[in-house]
Structure 1
Amino acid sequence: MNPLSSLGWRPELAEHLLPGTVPARVARVDRGRLAVLAADGERRVHPGAGLHADPALGGPAVGDWVALRGELAVALLPRTSAFVRTGAGRTSTAQVVAANLDVVLVVDALTADPRLRRVERYLAVAWSSGATPVVVLTKADLCDDVAAGVEAVREDALGVEVLAVSSWTGEGLDAVGGLLGPGRTAAMVGPSGVGKSSLLNALAGDAVAGTREIRGDGRGRHTTTARELHLLPGGALLVDTPGMRELALHDDAAGVAATYADVADLAQDCRFRDCGHGGEPGCAVAAAIDDGRLDPARFLGWRKLQAEQHRQLLRVDARARAEERARLRALHRSLRDQPYRTR
């Protein structure tokens, strides 16, 4: 058996290797160095300029495959999937959180009322990654009604498996482990303090990630400071990520549509193609809200992510900006030419 297959290697990647190079998988990205997993074990290598040859890829990320020549990583191999967000702050730069994933575990805790809008945001990015999203609700041992918490998220996370786990008692760990077969790669994403590091330790059967005590309100203190790829005993690979203070979408129209498929389907039944769902006659979305089929908060979450995705598209796409300017000019002309407009 090829030792690289246990690291998630795909034979078709071999055609992208440069002559005289060998493949390795990025386990951690540090300033000026990469920790990689190769056929002969873990190595520390220097990133070469070739890793940034394609600006669209954004440089090496945890989970990437690279071509090594000696102690130098000289090329980035094609990705099958990537969890991508817009970099923090006032920027439009894409930041790859983890690459070549099979599963994205969207982690939240059962220690408070379900934070559905936050879960929806993570799911929108997870759907766009090309991997399969799964919601994992941790700290089940601290929840008085686990079934109700899971059901609330399940009703909102359409088409997504929702699992409840306790890293303390072991409840639900087998179900999560069942998603992580040999050679499969998953990434845990979520805010600080929801128990990602504790979940990693429970799945690994050892303290591979630092944790701190649970606070009085049942929330943990997150200690992961860098993204890192871990090999689990069963042969799976799991990326632990630091908590994200903000998760800005990056051109995630498909992810938003998948996350809010029910709202998007309703919008298709509106009388007017350009319905703004703000009181227009024949609006199917408004009708669903009125008769209780659609939660108004879910509708507002959809509109918020749609608007954010559109703003991001205008930042990165010159053609979209030109079309937006043309649309606004046409709108202004139509308002100016109205016969009964007050002068």
Structure 2
Amino acid sequence: MLQDKITQYTAEINAFSTDNADELEQFRIKFLGTKGIIKDIFDEFKAVSPEEKRTLGKVLNEFKQLAEAKYQTLKDQTEVADTSKDSGLDLTLPGDGFEIGARHPLALVRREIVEIFNKLGFIVAEGPEIEDDWHNFTALNFPEEHPARDMQDTFFIKKGGEKGDIALRTHTSSVQVRMMEAGQPPFRAIMPGRVYRNEAISARAHCFFHQVEGLYVDENVSFADLKQTLFYFVQELYGEGTKVRFRPSYFPFTEPSAEMDISCTICKGAGCQMCKYSGWVEILGCGMVDPNVLENCGIDSKKYSGFAFGMGIERIANLKFEIKDLRLFSENDARFLKQYKTSLI
């Protein structure tokens, strides 16, 4: 009887299993082929009485669906097994998750510095890393005999030109010049970026590093404004209680000029190798913009005044993360970078 055949073949289908593509193809031909068992059973089904058709119709459809599902399941498993053999991998194993990346410590510090000055209304300005003599030196009041113009301190690319020699910028102060040339005060901006100095690479120095410089030009800007701005910056960056001191210094583009120290964040002023046992660490240079610089950029120095400052991001990162070797920042050692994995966002 037809019912008996369906029962017999159902048991055979349920019992069948293979991971061999040839055996699976034989199964398909036997049950699902154009001359297969299911085709024969459907042909027999046409000859049964109407009463039997009502009984066997549903059973026959379920039998066909069983054979198709069995074939598809085994086919998928066989393809996975074949792929695994080719690659040497077991693709049925659960996959490994993606390892969370990390931001570079210099990027973290740069972002924090930018966020602090943004609260004070400073915008971010950027400029080219390849600069001419005018923007890198002359407009900033560097005299002709200044050592920064010597090849032992600067990477020169081309001699001569309409605006002098072409070189890799030695500071981001060149961006300040470009900003002042392009408009009129007030200006309130910081200029983060990479700069280059012709120095021997060591644990404390590199031929390239990163700076953030700041500029504020408006009417009646005083040194007191500079001090309060930088004091706020230090408290935000290193925490309340960090001490600050200013020491007289000299820079061609500011007058008066100063260097700013903070109490060592590592030893808390007690003295350590980082602060050379003085309890203080110099983190930036600053001063009032020299009137000659304002005039070079087309700004009336009798009406406007301003202050500028500049800091090395590497130095700030050293103090925040206690990193003693500057070379680590540019070696791309995954072991070093993974330490900052929790600071991704």
Using the size of structure 1 for normalisation, the TM-score is 0.19
User: Which has the higher Rg, Structure 1 or Structure 2?
Assistant: 2
Structure with greater helix percent: 2
Give the number of the structure with larger relative contact order, counting CA–CA contacts within 8 Å between residues 6 or more apart: 2
Using the size of structure 2 for normalisation, the TM-score is 0.19
